[in-house]
A and B are shown apart, each in its own frame.
Chain A
Amino acid sequence: EAQVTQNPRYLITVTGKKLTVTCSQNMNHEYMSWYRQDPGLGLRQIYYSMNVEVTDKGDVPEGYKVSRKEKRNFPLILESPSPNQTSLYFCASSLFGTDLAFFGQGTRLTVV
């Protein structure tokens, strides 16, 4: 089954403790991206990747890092999380970035 898998689904952490949210797709897609969703603000793009070793900033990249060492994986790294990064995070992928058809199930992150 074609899917985008995120882990963990839920995470509560403390300010400053580094964490990684994983994202994996099984469709051999070139394009992957990360979004955060906050009430009233919609989905905002954090980072995207056009291919292995090719990443670029979205609209809200501050406080986040990404890497794309393999085509299937696109982890989101928060090196020093802060409470304003409490949000619902989604990973998405598509074949070449011409659409955005597949989303993961989401990761609800709480930073206290």
Chain B
Amino acid sequence: EDQVTQSPEALRLQEGESSSLNCSYTVSGLRGLFWYRQDPGKGPEFLFTLYSAGEEKEKERLKATLTKKESFLHITAPKPEDSATYLCAVQAVGNFNKFYFGSGTKLNVKP
């Protein structure tokens, strides 16, 4: 069964304190892994797509990496405005019409 697990559920950081969020997945064959940011009361905002192990994508203070079993979202020197819930989702090769989401990591960056 295709499955996505995110950890930790919640993370509190001081401004400037770098850390990583984890997304581990079980799929029969990975077509793509997606990261989103979600602010309270809003729809998910697309950040990155990763397709193959070893791939990396960067945007400002965020960097996403992918291995065969998990993905990491690294946050370097975070700012309070990075506070949000970060979601990951996977799309399987054999079932590419469906997207499976993790339950998210709620990040709180204190000034």
A contact set with B: CB distance below 8 Å? 4, 31, 33, 35, 40-45, 48, 50, 56, 58-59, 90, 92, 97-106
* Chain A residues, Cβ within 8 Å of B87: 42-43
Q: A31-B97, A101-B46 are in contact. List 10 more A-B contacts (CB 8 A).
A: A4-B43, A33-B99, A42-B103, A43-B44, A43-B87, A45-B98, A50-B97, A56-B97, A90-B43, A99-B32
Q: Evaluate contact between B101 and A103: CB separation under 8 angstroms.
A: no
Describe B's contact surface by its main secondary structure: strand
Chain B nearest CB, measured from A110 CB (Å) = 15
A4 to B100, CA, bound (A): 20
Chain B: interface residue total (CB-CB under 8 A) = 22
B contact set with A: CB distance below 8 Å? 4, 32, 34, 41-46, 49, 87, 89, 91, 96-104
Chain B nearest CB, measured from A108 CB (Å) = 8
A58 to B104, CA, bound (A): 20
14 A-B residue pairs with CB within 8 Å = A4-B43, A33-B99, A40-B103, A42-B4, A42-B101, A48-B97, A59-B98, A90-B43, A92-B43, A98-B96, A99-B49, A100-B34, A101-B46, A105-B42
Describe A's contact surface by its main secondary structure: strand
A42 to B104, CA, bound (A): 7
Report how many A-B pairs have Cβ atoms within 8 Å: 55
Known: A99-B32, A99-B49. A106 touches B41 (CB 8 A): yes
A97 to B96, CA, bound (A): 8
